Amino acid sequence: KEYTSENLSYKLNELPQKVLNVLKSAGKMADDEGYSAYVVGGFVRDLILGVENLDIDIVIEGDAVAFAQKFASQINAKITVHEKFQTAYVYIDEDLQIDFVTARKEYYEFPGSLPIIETGTIKDDLFRRDFTINCIAMKLNGDEFGKVVDFYGGRRDLYDGVIRILYNLSFIEDPTRIIRAVRFEQRYGFLMDEKTEEFAIKAVKSDVLDKLSIERINTEFFYMLKEKNAAKMLQRLKELGLLKKAYPEMELSDQLINLMEKSDNQWEDFYIGLINKKNIDKILIYLLVLHSNMSVDKVHASADRMRLKKEYKDEILRFIEVKDLNLPALVAEGNLSNYDVYSMFTGLSLESLYVISIMFDDRVRDAVLVYINNLSQIKTEITGKDIMELGIAPGPEIKRILQAVLKEKINGKIFTYDDEINFVKNLLEQEN
Ligand code: CTP
């Protein structure tokens, strides 16, 4: 049976009161307007799975923009309207926002194009979506509140753990869905059904990816990097052939996958070792790992392809330079001064330092921690002003002298303000 009248209002009733009230008011207003209103998509999927998700999408069989305007003014919420897409975004508070959209039919002029949109029914609206598990709706209207609308077997696949496209051309029309399929698969521990996977592989082998703008691929790719199981997702994208095609510079070896997983697993240990606690940018960590086996040329090509912001690209380039120094050998030789260690690591972000700490052996990791906790904290007490008072004119000379003081201090040869002043005096004397 493709459509049942199962009622899941008891699931809705478990939502935080504030959310429930908002959904009920929307249902009541739909009654008043003579419209049908449905919650759809990820919200319903996660509600059934028992996963928290307050990203609410409401489909209106009727004018969603007018509806949302009336609704927002009734509950005194801010609203942003996209007339062109017949959508409106209602901001209730920091943790509750709702997207309203007019039920629509979509079709694609050519693979990878943006869809052409016409007004439609809830059934049309669900059919334009990616996977059956994302095509379950629940009605909000008063006397049918919580009634499930499931034309495409979404609940069955949700219970069976299956990611299934709705129609054979789905991936051809929108290849970004391949990345989404992998994301949902690994996020929930599901599997693509056999046909769906075949269609994904076929789509990759065809030329549809070339027709798609890299920006659209990047958007989905970065959503993926934000997920917990990103390493597994990348592995799947590799298996499907998408990784090579979309990001040809990336060589996702088993070693790289391991390093990504290690970066997930070892952060807590590393964090415990930090004297000054600081959170990290997980995306940057993954990007560093993904570029860690590339030449400088490839890093440039890849970073440009991924449209990485300049700060990310620069950081990756600095990281590459340092991690190629043959750190295990340098550290093992044991004749690095503190200042050598300082010079090696200075300027690197905590993210780069962390990745370096897990890439090599324990000695390298310890050197990184010594740098972060100790060496990088050392500052000279004297300033440029003190040096000018010793007769040096403003200019680059001041910087050079301060650097020399810092070196002595980091190497543990001087300690106090007076030590620093005396060191400068001696240095100037020697140099004259
Ligand atoms: N959708 C689609 N094809 C895409 C992107 C989105 O069909 N390329 C549909 C999906 O059915 C999805 C809905 O649009 O349910 C909303 O998309 P989005 O908010 O990106 O997805 P969620 O399912 O909410 O996933 P997430 O939990 O990752 O936010």
CA distance 222 to 312: 13
Tens of pLDDT, residues 6-41: 888 899 999 999 999 999 999 999 999 999 999 999
Is residue 178 within 8 A of residue 171, CB to CB? The reply is: yes
Q: Ligand 1 centre from 229 Cα, in Å?
A: 18
Selection from 42, 185, 165, 18 nearest residue 93 by Cα: 18
pLDDT at site 322: 97
Question: Which residue's CA lies nearest to atom 23 of ligand 1?
Answer: 42
Q: Where are the domains of the chain?
A: 9-158, 161-246, 384-431
How many C-beta atoms lie closer than 10 Å to residue 341's C-beta?
Answer: 20
From residue 152, how far is each of 64, 124, 185, 334 by CA, in Å?
A: 24, 11, 18, 65
Q: Ligand 1 centre from 264 Cα, in Å?
A: 26
Question: Which residue's CA lies nearest to atom 21 of ligand 1?
Answer: 42
Selection from 204, 212, 60, 188 nearest residue 131 by Cα: 188
Give the atom of ligand 1 at the shortest distance from the alpha carbon of 135.
11
What ipTM does the predicted assembly reach?
0.94
SS3 category, 4: coil
Average pLDDT value for residue range 126-137: 96
In this predicted structure, the answer to whether residue 5 has a pLDDT above a threshold of 70 is no
Say which CATH topology domain 161-246 has: Hydrophobic Seed Protein (1.10.110)
55 lines ligand 1 (CB under 6 A): yes
Average pLDDT value for residue range 52-58: 94
Tens of pLDDT, residues 289-304: 999 999 999 999 999 9
> One-letter amino acid identity for 15?
L
- Reading the block at residue 323, the tokens are 């991690």
Give the atom of ligand 1 at the shortest distance from the alpha carbon of 128.
7
Q: Give percent of the chain with pLDDT exceeding 70.
A: 99
Please report, to the nearest 10 degrees, the dihedral formed by the alpha carbons of residues 59, 61, 67, 68 taken in order.
Answer: 10
Question: Which CATH code of 3.40.190.100, 3.30.460.10, 2.40.50.140, 3.30.70.240 fits the domain covering 9-158?
Answer: 3.30.460.10
352 lines ligand 1 (CB under 6 A): no
pLDDT at site 83: 87
pLDDT at site 2: 44
42 lines ligand 1 (CB under 6 A): yes
Selection from 41, 18, 30 nearest residue 64 by Cα: 30
In CATH terms, are 9-158 and 161-246 the same topology? no
Q: Ligand 1 centre from 42 Cα, in Å?
A: 6
174 lines ligand 1 (CB under 6 A): yes
Selection from 307, 309, 314 nearest residue 347 by Cα: 314
